[in-house]
Amino acid sequence: MKRYLKLVNFEVNRFLKLYLVLLGITILSQIIGVIVESQAYLKRANEVIYKDLIPKSEFIEQYGTMSFINITHSVWFTGPILACGVVLIIYVFFIWYRDWFGKNTFSYRLLMLPTARITIYIAKATTILLFVLGLVALQLLLLPVESQVLQLVVSSEFRTDLPIHAIVNSPNLGILFPNTFIEFVLYYGGGMAAVFVVFTVILFERSFRIKGIIYGILYCAASLLIFFAPLLVNAFMLNNYLYPRELFFLELAAGLIVLACAIWIGHFLLKNKIRV
């Protein structure tokens, strides 16, 4: 356990600077977005009310009040979230290939550590999970701050205040903040299973080179088939006979099978096929 924690700490520190930059961009972009979107709304209100001489009540009836939901639809808000997601997806590959293609082929030293090689595999996956949860936690902390900024910029007569749980449950944030435990398991459990599958595909390529790419593609296809098998069987063979709860547990079982296979195959490749 001590070596596992050291490996996690090591992997986190290797990406920490860029990660902090992502956090900073997210904070700045979203707060600036609240101000910019609020000012744009107020500018429109001033033009309609004072230039077109339309009463405030009619303007509000026609254009609606300003709420935080308007902010979540802007590129200022969604842009950094998408950017962070793309960077983390790239890092799923980079976290392995950096070790092989670095200046000092660090993978050789890493794999020669006096610990089970599967510990390296799990530590890298844990690092990805920590980064994802860290971004989600940051977003959750930012929401009340950004709501306060909105209240400072837009007067109450043009504003609709929403509680944090209403913002969290909005469609744009549904994936980040699942409404139910079942959705949380599906989104984040499925995401981590995908990370493990990608890790194993990378190890196929590192173990067998050109042949490994073919093996990896076949393995990835088999994993997808196993994961979606309950949905396909229910749709095409059982005519949607299963209840949603039954389908969820079958999907959960399929996901666990995919996850277990990914870890087992990854362990096998690290232990027996990758040489240092």
pLDDT in tens, 257-273: 999 999 999 999 988 87
136 with 5, same domain: the answer is yes
237 with 126, same domain: the answer is no
Q: Is the pTM here over 0.85, yes or no?
A: yes
Are 83 and 24 within 8 A, CB to CB?
no
User: 159 has which bridge partners?
Assistant: 66
Are 79 and 29 within 8 A, CB to CB?
yes
Low-confidence residues of the chain, pLDDT below 50? none
**Which three-class secondary structure state does DSSP give residue 52?**
coil
**Which three-class secondary structure state does DSSP give residue 235?**
helix
User: Which of 123, 146, 177 delimits the end of a domain?
Assistant: 177
69 with 144, same domain: the answer is yes
169 with 219, same domain: the answer is no
Q: Could you identify the residue written with the tokens 């405030």?
A: 56
pLDDT of residue 125: 93
Among residues 143, 145, 193, 142, the alpha carbon closest in space to that of 165 is found at: 143
End-to-end CA distance of the chain: 24
Provide the domain count of the chain.
Answer: 2
pLDDT of residue 274: 76
Give the residue numbers spanning the domain of 230.
Answer: 179-276
166 with 260, same domain: the answer is no
User: Which of 156, 177, 198 delimits the end of a domain?
Assistant: 177
Summarize pLDDT for 152-168 with one digit per residue, the tens. Answer: 998 888 888 888 888 88
Q: Could you identify the residue written with the tokens 């990896």?
A: 216
